[in-house]
Amino acid sequence: MAIESRNKRSINFAMSGMTDIVFLLLIFFMLTTTLIVPASRNVDLPESNNQTQASPVLVLSIASNRTVYIEDQEYRISEVEPVLQKMLEPFGETPTIRLNADRDLNMEEVFSILNIAKRNRYKVILGTKPVS
């Protein structure tokens, strides 16, 4: 007569806890990567000691050849204001724009963008690179 134990060990592994952790990590990484706003164009920025930590919702770049890029789309200066109004409408009253202007650019284009922002009550952060 064989003696058998009444308490049998279960060799199964519950995956529900592990899938919850993986799902939460996936959500965390998806949210943190969408908060980073990349520079839309390669623009030679001026240097500055001050760096702002605000997070803009839109990146507007002006290249040295006076071409305006909004989120990698090319526009003329006359088309910028309606495009900005349409793109920034869902972000509330005072959305923030990051303005990347080439260091060799005439300031006339920068002032026209700043005037558009003032008329529409947008906040503007001038993009600079840290002093090395």
Residue range 29-67, pLDDT digits in tens: 888 776 555 555 566 666 666 666 667 788 888 888 888
What is the pLDDT, as a whole number, of residue 99?
A: 87
Domain membership flag for residue 51: yes
On the question of pLDDT at 79 being above 80, the answer is: yes
Domain membership flag for residue 97: yes
pLDDT averaged over every residue in the chain: 79
Domain membership flag for residue 28: no
On the question of pLDDT at 26 being above 60, the answer is: yes
Q: Domain count of the chain?
A: 1
Domain membership flag for residue 110: yes
Which of the residue ranges 20-24, 38-42, 71-75, 123-127 has the most confident prediction, judged by mean pLDDT? 20-24
Domain membership flag for residue 114: yes
What is the pLDDT, as a whole number, of residue 40?
A: 54
User: What's the per-residue H, E or C state across the chain?
Assistant: CCCCCCCCCCCCCCCHHHHHHHHHHHHHHHHHHHCCCCCCCCCCCCEECCCCCCCCCEEEEECCCCCEEECCEEECHHHHHHHHHHHHHHHCCCCEEEEEECCCCCHHHHHHHHHHHHHHCCEEEECCEECC
Q: Which residues pair with 99 in a beta bridge?
A: 60, 126
Domain membership flag for residue 124: yes
What is the pLDDT, as a whole number, of residue 31?
A: 80
How far apart CA 13 and CA 11 sit, in angstroms, is: 7
Q: For 12-24, what is the mean pLDDT?
A: 85
What is the pLDDT, as a whole number, of residue 1?
A: 59
Full-model pTM: 0.58
Domain membership flag for residue 5: no
